[in-house]
Amino acid sequence: MSGKHLIVTLIGLPGSGKTTVGRQLARRLQVPFLDSDQILEQRLGCSIRAYFEAEGEERFRDMEEQVIEDLSQSALGVLSTGGGVVLRPENRKRLHTRTTVAYLRASPEDLYRRLRHDTQRPLLQVADPLSRLRELFELRDPLYLEAAHFVIETGRPSVVSQVNKIMMQLELDELKASPGSA
Ligand code: S3P
């Protein structure tokens, strides 16, 4: 793993595989797996969906920003984030400067196929989730690209092949960081 950043952060829309890929990647790298949504739920003392309903999105984003501030300073690990983490410029900057960021990129159609039965994601509890995913993609794709160091096109490949692609990219980064050691 790169000597510069010891945390690898996964970003992307809901359903892009951040948690599944993150867990496997952490296992391969033999480092802790951190899930910002899960840690956030522990701090909130309730589900994200319930918090959204009771307090609204801005309060949720404040809490999320605090969790990102704390976790991005961890010494080591793979960090999986909530899909909206890139909305705040502070989060994009912190993650980019403190960690190595991989964007798991998928089309709204692929995401819809994976998420159509989901009941937990507050932003997708609407009459037409596919249109919502298209809107989210349009708004957020440039933000994910801005925050990322590299992009993994997810399409339909297996989790193992996505983990392999990230491992290759991290090895390349390491070679670039210390060319003499190759
Ligand atoms: C959100 C995505 C969710 C969660 C919250 C808001 C978003 O995480 O943080 O519901 O704005 O896209 P996942 O990307 O893990 O679904």
Integer Cα distance of 147 and 100 in angstroms: 10
For residue 129, how far is its CA from the centre of ligand 1 (angstroms)?
14
Integer Cα distance of 155 and 52 in angstroms: 30
For residue 2, how far is its CA from the centre of ligand 1 (angstroms)?
28
pLDDT of 104 over the 90 cut: yes
- Count CA atoms within 13 Å of residue 142 on its CB side: 4
pLDDT, greater one: 39 or 2: 39
Integer Cα distance of 90 and 113 in angstroms: 32
What atom of ligand 1 comes closest to residue 136's alpha carbon? 12
Whole-number pLDDT of residue 16:
94
Domains annotated for the chain, with CATH where assigned, are 8-174 (3.40.50.300)
**What is the identity of the amino acid at 36?**
S
The answer, yes or no, to whether any atom of ligand 1 lies below 6 A from the CB of 132, is no
CA 148 to chain CA centroid, Å, is 10
The answer, yes or no, to whether any atom of ligand 1 lies below 6 A from the CB of 17, is no
* Biggest CA-to-CA distance, the chain: 56
Whole-number pLDDT of residue 149:
95
The answer, yes or no, to whether any atom of ligand 1 lies below 6 A from the CB of 122, is yes
pLDDT of 5 over the 60 cut: no
- pLDDT band for position 100 (cuts 50, 70, 90): very high
The answer, yes or no, to whether any atom of ligand 1 lies below 6 A from the CB of 84, is yes
User: What is the sign, positive or negative, of the torsion defined by CA atoms of 73, 172, 25, 27?
Assistant: negative
What atom of ligand 1 comes closest to residue 80's alpha carbon? 15
Interval 58-83: pLDDT, tens: 999 999 999 999 999 877 899 999 99
Interval 117-155: pLDDT, tens: 888 888 888 999 999 999 999 999 999 999 999 999 987
For residue 14, how far is its CA from the centre of ligand 1 (angstroms)?
6
- pTM reported for the whole predicted model: 0.92
Residue with tokens 């596919």: 130
The answer, yes or no, to whether any atom of ligand 1 lies below 6 A from the CB of 77, is no
What backbone phi and psi angles, to 5 degrees, belong to 79?
-110, 120
**What is the identity of the amino acid at 42?**
Q
